[in-house]
Amino acid sequence: MEQVILVNQHDQELGLMEKMEAHKKGLLHRAFSIFLFNSKGELMLQRRALSKYHSGGLWTNTCCSHPRQGETVLEAAHRRLDEEMGMACEMKQAFHFVYRAELDHGLTEHELDHVVLGFTDHQPILNQEEVMDWKYMSLDQVAKDMQAYPEHYTEWFKVVFNQVGETVALWQKQQQANKTSSNLQTVPA
């Protein structure tokens, strides 16, 4: 039985609850969303498997899930990226946000979602029980496609997409400025 960590608006732990019960009751819980970019600045999207308990068949960020009790967000991100996408890369937490969305199957997603960024040119090896497809797209292409076909994307992805784009643009400007003074690459905190 998979559990989620219930939290308050300040990400302080309040207890544990079975995952489906938390989604039926719409209780705030800790989650994370991974956004991986390649060297061209394109975002790796995944299409959720049709058998997922909600949002099956929809396009979304590279990977997302919930940390387990005693697991940091980054530990959970590395674990889940391997489980879903068969990948590993360096990642760093960028920011978090809270959202609430009514989903299919009578479920409510109410999450304090930690956004994790990573950069890699590796190809995924999909876990077909979790992910049915993947692709790289530029942020401009994603924005245009999401505007034309919002029903093809998960609710949380639509909520956070612009903020991720702004964070990555800031990171790229910092990276460009750093190239003139050093070869040090960092991800914004």
Residue 42 maps to which CATH number? Answer: 3.90.79.10
Residue 106 lies in a domain: yes
| pLDDT band (50, 70, 90) for residue 186 | low
pTM, whole model, 2 decimals? 0.89
Q: How many domains does the chain have?
A: 1
| pLDDT band (50, 70, 90) for residue 184 | very low
User: What is the predicted pLDDT for the residue at 165?
Assistant: 81
Residue 113 lies in a domain: yes
Catalytic residues: 64, 111
Per-residue pLDDT, averaged over 93-104, amounts to 91
Residue 153 lies in a domain: yes
| pLDDT band (50, 70, 90) for residue 103 | confident
Lowest mean pLDDT among 103-112, 115-124, 166-175: 166-175
Residue 187 lies in a domain: no
Nearest-angstrom CA–CA distance, 175 and 179: 6
Per-residue pLDDT, averaged over 110-138, amounts to 96
User: What is the predicted pLDDT for the residue at 115?
Assistant: 96
Domain residues for the domain of 35 are: 3-181
Residue 162 lies in a domain: yes
Counting other chains too, the contacts that 87-91 makes at CB distance below 8 Å and 24 or more residues apart are 87/36, 87/120, 87/122, 87/124, 87/125, 89/36, 89/118, 89/119, 89/120, 89/122, 90/118, 90/119, 91/34, 91/116, 91/117, 91/118, 91/187
Per-residue pLDDT, averaged over 84-107, amounts to 92
Above pLDDT 70, what percent of the chain?
93
Residue 189 lies in a domain: no
User: What is the predicted pLDDT for the residue at 167?
Assistant: 82
